[in-house]
Structure 1
């Protein structure tokens, strides 16, 4: 984790593979619950169109300003990546990509079951997909003097589940799930991803920063890799980038991001002079 570690690893990769054309960074992220007037749910996948390092800037009295001038910018993707993503942004191709990713996900789940892997790639269920109001903080509601008498950080509460901490269901945001649990197909969102060395764990900060910079998700490696080689970040949403701890979705979100990455590779065309290579 961390943009510096990602940059070092990617630089090493680039020196080993001097003809590297594309890197796909696959993993987990904290998602923004509402993207382009659509609900984003746990298990859905975000794909980077651009990246902003939201925690890189200047701290002034009372405010923090992100450095986003031309000199500080991570820049836009190369022409091949821009063309690839432009195709995926069309309704027809996005649906095709989603269908192919769903097939890859089923294959992964079946294979994992046969091989008895420790990771659980099955869909956790809509009942486990809980979104709390941004201002509703995750903390012990009873039997903890630190949580009940002050706003100080409680490490024990941060590691506890919402059930153990006593988070109230009355503070859940009601949203309609249209997914078939037995046949889950991840939605794919393409946009600007926020990357930094700090893990976003605040619903209020998430919404404020996402609104200011038009961010659809938060993660901790993309900025480091993006600055080294042509890169697409593909991350599965495992939480809502708030204080409510939920580890039940990590394996499944990793599987959905891997499935989408494989679907993207299936559509990636490599040009070498006058020759064209297409995977599969």
Structure 2
């Protein structure tokens, strides 16, 4: 599969990187539609090692918007610290989707606001909500799950995923006031009589929860604080990147890798990350590619963007790919000149080229132009 920058319409951002690299490297992929009549070209970007947080996420999102001229929306996919309650049974390995019941933002920046004299802290951080197209897709997937159609479960049970991210056997949740006793990841020295009494589940696959996600600048390892934020805002988990994506319309999807308490460890990280990715793939699989093509681009157009050696090198590489594509096309004959697939493909490519040139003209004035 050979892609050029103009082919990418969806950006996928991951918070944790596997390779110890300080460079932002894109991985390209294709997700087929559930109907079998189309696909999405996506670019996946991972935040550099030791650069998690909203500032780094904002930088990566801005880089994406500058790199891909036809990008339409994004996904923020990764792990988070969950908050269990009697009302909402959030457990390790589950997935939380950042949506709101009142059609508002699915992400709350809990540490952004103001302190008033003789008054409590007033929270004011509500993030940009996901596009209507994505929210509609989430609704479709939610209805499918009610009908016991869960494609993400099939993905998690594939041999490849199970080798990378097997499901751990134990899910420990301690009382909020009981803190971790021995430094290290294991809870083997923590008192078992301080575990919370939760009903057993009748299934082992991840449950999907829909509700607000709390985003801030710190890792939360305080169960009492997490409980307070949950009671105030109804949030289901805590993470650190989505607050930096207000200018990047996206859907936030998080796998629960631990609880927001002192007993954090990495045992569930791979499985939770795989669960979130499997759900994200299921959402994109029900989004029509024709609908994505009709959305306005959120790419950044700058007067300095199309100058300099880096951009010129990119242009040369793109032209080489175009020439390679052209050389692979079947020759037109008088028989199929106006009917064959080669002619249709040629027309489609000409139209894409015309639209791209027009979009460049519209963005030529400098600053930021949203198409």
CA deviation map 1:49-100 (0-9, x unaligned) = 11011112234679762432xxx532333322332333344xx323468610
Distance 1:96 1:28, change over 3 A: farther
Distance 1:97 1:75, change over 3 A: farther
TM-score by length of 1: 0.76
Shift of 1:231: 0.5
Q: Does 1:193 align with 2:213?
A: yes
Q: Is the 8 A contact 1:195 1:223 kept in 2?
A: yes
Match of 1:130 among 150, 172, 186: 172
Q: Does 1:239 align with 2:258?
A: yes
Moved over 6 A (4+): none
Q: Does 1:45 align with 2:95?
A: yes
Higher relative contact order (CA 8 A, sep 6+): 1
Q: Equivalent residue for 1:58?
A: 114
Unaligned runs of 5+ in 2: 1-51, 100-105, 296-371
Shift of 1:124: 0.7
Q: Does 1:161 align with 2:203?
A: no
Match of 2:65 among 14, 30, 42: 14
CA deviation map 1:146-186 (0-9, x unaligned) = xxxxxxxxxxx2x44222xx210111011123244xxx321
Report which of the two structures shows the higher radius of gyration computed on alpha carbons.
2
Match of 1:177 among 192, 197, 200: 200
Alignment of 1:1-280 (within 5 A): 1-34=52-85, 37-49=87-99, 50-59=106-115, 65-68=121-124, 73-89=126-142, 92-95=143-146, 99-107=150-158, 110-112=159-161, 119=164, 121-125=165-169, 128-140=170-182, 157=183, 159-163=184-188, 166-180=189-203, 184-225=204-245, 227-270=246-289, 271=291, 272-273=293-294
SS in 1 for 2:196: coil
User: What is the root-mean-square deviation in Å for CA atoms of aligned residues?
Assistant: 2.4
Shift of 1:17: 1.4
Unaligned runs of 5+ in 1: 141-156, 275-280
Q: Is the 8 A contact 1:78 1:230 kept in 2?
A: yes
Distance 1:78 1:261, change over 3 A: closer
Distance 1:194 1:8, change over 3 A: same
CA deviation map 1:208-266 (0-9, x unaligned) = 001101101111111112x1222011111011111112221111111111111111111
- How many residues are matched? 236
